[in-house]
Structure 1
Amino acid sequence: MFRPLSVFVGLRYSRAKHKNSFVSFISIASILGISLGVTVLIIGLSAMNGFENALRDQLLSVIPHGELKTVDGGYKDLQKSLQTVESTPGVTGATAFITFNGLLQKDNQMKALQFRAITPATESKVTRIERFIKEGDWSLLKPGQRSLILGKAVADKLQIKVGDSVTLLMHQIGQGSKIKAPLTYQFTLVGLFEMGGQLDSALAFTHIEDAKQILSLNEANTIGFSVDDVLQAQQITRNAGYKLNDYLYINSWVNSQGYLYRDIQMVKSLMIIILLLVVAVACFNIVSTLVMAVNEKRGDIAILKTMGASKWMLRFIFIVQGAFNGFVGCIVGAVFGVYIAENLTAIISKLEVLIGHKLLSGNIYFINYLPSQVNANEVVIITATAFLMSVFATVYPAWRASNIQPALELGYSH
């Protein structure tokens, strides 16, 4: 097989033992440094991709992308308003509901929750919470029966199970802002959902007709809807709200949960910058390796020059030698990075079992596990960038090697 002389000699130098063991050590350190940098960068970005997907596919699948809530009372013409919202470009489905806050009590246990009184027939147009229902079903939320679906975390805290009765406490304000005794209502638990995050312990579902009776409303006071592009939810929500004649509070998921998306993007950007600097530092070890290799091979370089080797041939020899180290480091790092990233969730789960502690608490974060999703394009870009950085690091030593004077090295005089 034909191989250019510079490639042949460069690869031979890469595999040859160095006279100075310190040169070998620096060479191995540069490979390991590049590998570690690439591995950590792939794992970190995969974790950020996992969080981003969990935000979209999990959190945003159980809350409306946009909400239009009346300032006072319910909608004057709910059906017409629903049709108007659904006809807005970008809206994929709409449903009516009522939200209110209350306190659930069972014996001596109490839990404050946000209640979403839904229309079961149209709720699936907007959310996919049914995917996370472990016991029961939407169909069990029937008007007039005061039924309830809770997160499993809440049910565990209150020590109740499906079929049990629980008390809802609602505050009421008397004349002159005098606080009166809370109103109490009995509800029956008909279902449990488990998403694995904050919402498990913060949200409860009931039928909209029961909420109307409790809150003395004639109609729903909120329209929730989903959109085809979650990143445009704010603008689509405004467009839908401006079409209606009611006085409204206009909110999208960006207002309530947007900080999560911004945090993920910020951490992702910082991680790329910091870890690329780590790779850069590792690549500059290649400079040290090649500078010492050039000093070791001064005699060989002089002989090659006397045999007619051009400056560019000599430069390519050392570029190939340094690029080989970078290539090995990048490939090893990419293989380990992809493997660990693909199994990151399982690895962290086993680590949590081993240490007996949850690294991500569902009470604090919107999920209670560490997600990961490998993006093939990002792996290619990371590997290619690290390789190019390693090649760039060879330029100075290679240039220095090409300027060696054979006469001085071989002891001849002019």
Structure 2
Amino acid sequence: MFRPLLIFIGLRYSKAKHKNKFVSFISMASILGIALGVTALIVGLSAMNGFEKALRDQMLAVIPHAELETVNGSFENLDSSLKQVRHHPGVIAASPYIMLNGLLQKDDQIKALQIRAIAPKSERDVTAVEHYIKGGGWELLKTGQRSIVLGKSVALKLAMKIGDSLTLILPQEGGQQLKSPRKIKLTLVGLFEMGGQLDNALGFMHIDDAKQILGLDSANGIAFKVADILDAQTLARDVGYSLNDYLYIKSWITSQGYLYQDIQMVKSLMYVILLLVIAVACFNIVSTLVMAVNEKRGDIAILKTMGASKWLLRGIFIVQGAFNGLVGCLLGAAIGIFIALNLTDIVKFIETVIGHKFLSGDVYFIDFLPSHLIYEQVIVVTVAAFFMSVLSTLYPAWRASKIQPALELGFAH
């Protein structure tokens, strides 16, 4: 098969054994350095993509995108307010809720918890918590039975199982007088497990039971789902200002937005830092080619006397360096793709071996290391690394074209 002369000679130089073993070592180090940098960048970006996907698909699936809470009491006309929210452009669904903060007690165990009293029929349109409930859904919460659904972590802390009774302790407002807290008996009817902070901090009960317990005529909050989650805060303000009630306006951006911003910042820093790591590895190509040029000075001189142009000589060494860069990039991409596709399982295996969990559900919104490989990013990283390796060949190639045949072959006196 026909190949241009510069590619033929360049590839032959790449595959040939060097007289100086140190040159071979530096050449191999450059390939492994580029491969390691590409692998680290692909795996790191996949992990950040995984966190972003988990935030979108898992956390934002179970917490409302936006919420409106009355400052005092409850909504004066809940049905009208719900209708107005649901018909607002950009809103997909809305559901009423009541939030209670109290203590759960089972025997001598106590756990502080936030309980969300929801309307089962409309809640499934706003959040996907129902999919994480073991052995059922919102139908487990029935009016008048004072039932509760808890996170699996809370149930383990309280040493409870489904069907057990527990006590909800709520504070009482007594003006200037101190009043003893109210105690309400509840029955555990279901457990949910999402694998993160929400398992330890949230419980659910029927909104009608909460109204009866608190003496409210209607809900004091409306949660809704939006089409564009990144526009949730702006949309929440627009919806809130359109209602007549005096409201607190909240969205996932105010409560969890820092997580999204941190992920984006880490991804940007990772691009810069690991591309610099690849750049350092590419400098090994410069060292390899400079030493290769010194080793091949006689060959270069002979090629020049046979009529080889400066551009042909430059191309030979560009091909030699680019070949090393290409091998490193493809090797790194292959290893990076394999690790990224199996990162979660690899980390779980390491956690099992060492007996330590890297991500605790008590601290983070998930308790596993996620990974989401985007092949467009793999292409960008591989092409960028290859481009940097080609750039690193320019100086040695230019230096090779400046060799004088007369001096190298001993014709000059």
TM-score normalized by the length of structure 1: 0.99
Residue pair 1:135, 1:193 contacting (<8 A) in 2 also: no
Instruction: State yes or no: 1:399 paired with 2:403.
Output: no
Residue pair 2:330, 2:382 contacting (<8 A) in 1 also: yes
SS at match of 1:125: helix
TM superposition shift of 1:77: 1.1
- 2:242 and 2:175 map into 1 onto residues whose CA distance is 37
- 1:66 and 1:304 map into 2 onto residues whose CA distance is 72
TM superposition shift of 1:174: 2.1
Runs of 4+ in 1 over 3 A off after TM superposition: none
Residue pair 2:131, 2:137 contacting (<8 A) in 1 also: no
The code of the aligned residue for 1:298 comes to R
TM superposition shift of 1:173: 3.0
> Which residue number corresponds to residue 261 of structure 1?
260
SS at match of 1:24: helix
Spell out, residue by residue over 1:205-258, the C-alpha distance to the aligned partner (whole angstroms, 9 max, x if none): 000011111112111011100111111111111111111111111110000011
- 1:313 and 1:73 map into 2 onto residues whose CA distance is 83
SS at match of 1:116: strand
> Which residue number corresponds to residue 331 of structure 1?
330
SS at match of 2:126: coil
- 2:345 and 2:93 map into 1 onto residues whose CA distance is 36
Give me the CA root mean square deviation: 0.9
Cα 1:175–1:247 change in 2 (3 A) is closer
Structure 2 stretches lacking a partner, 5+ long:
none
Spell out, residue by residue over 1:132-184, the C-alpha distance to the aligned partner (whole angstroms, 9 max, x if none): 111332112111110000000000100111111010000113231x3321100
Spell out, residue by residue over 1:351-396, the C-alpha distance to the aligned partner (whole angstroms, 9 max, x if none): 1111111110000000000000100000000000000000000000
- 2:60 and 2:112 map into 1 onto residues whose CA distance is 22
Instruction: State yes or no: 1:173 paired with 2:176.
Output: no
SS at match of 1:58: helix
SS at match of 2:223: strand
> Which residue number corresponds to residue 160 of structure 1?
160
Cα 1:74–1:175 change in 2 (3 A) is closer
- 1:189 and 1:98 map into 2 onto residues whose CA distance is 19
The code of the aligned residue for 2:399 comes to R
Spell out, residue by residue over 1:77-124, the C-alpha distance to the aligned partner (whole angstroms, 9 max, x if none): 111111111111111110000112010000010101111000001001
Tell me the number of residue pairs that the alignment of Structure 1 and Structure 2 aligns.
Answer: 413
Residue pair 1:136, 1:192 contacting (<8 A) in 2 also: no
The 5-angstrom pairing of residues 5-404 of structure 1 reads 5-176=5-176, 178-404=177-403
- 1:137 and 1:407 map into 2 onto residues whose CA distance is 88
Structure 1 stretches lacking a partner, 5+ long:
none
- 1:143 and 1:310 map into 2 onto residues whose CA distance is 89
- 2:347 and 2:403 map into 1 onto residues whose CA distance is 53
The code of the aligned residue for 1:61 comes to A
- 1:32 and 1:361 map into 2 onto residues whose CA distance is 34
The code of the aligned residue for 2:203 comes to A
The code of the aligned residue for 2:95 comes to T
Residue pair 1:69, 1:221 contacting (<8 A) in 2 also: yes
- 2:343 and 2:365 map into 1 onto residues whose CA distance is 18
SS at match of 1:124: helix
Residue pair 1:136, 1:190 contacting (<8 A) in 2 also: no
The code of the aligned residue for 2:339 comes to I
SS at match of 1:167: strand
Spell out, residue by residue over 1:40-99, the C-alpha distance to the aligned partner (whole angstroms, 9 max, x if none): 100000000000000011011111000011111111111111111111111111000011
Give the percent of matched residue pairs that are identical in Structure 1 and Structure 2: 67
SS at match of 1:175: coil
Residue pair 2:132, 2:194 contacting (<8 A) in 1 also: yes
- 2:233 and 2:174 map into 1 onto residues whose CA distance is 38
Residue pair 1:153, 1:200 contacting (<8 A) in 2 also: yes
The code of the aligned residue for 2:64 comes to P
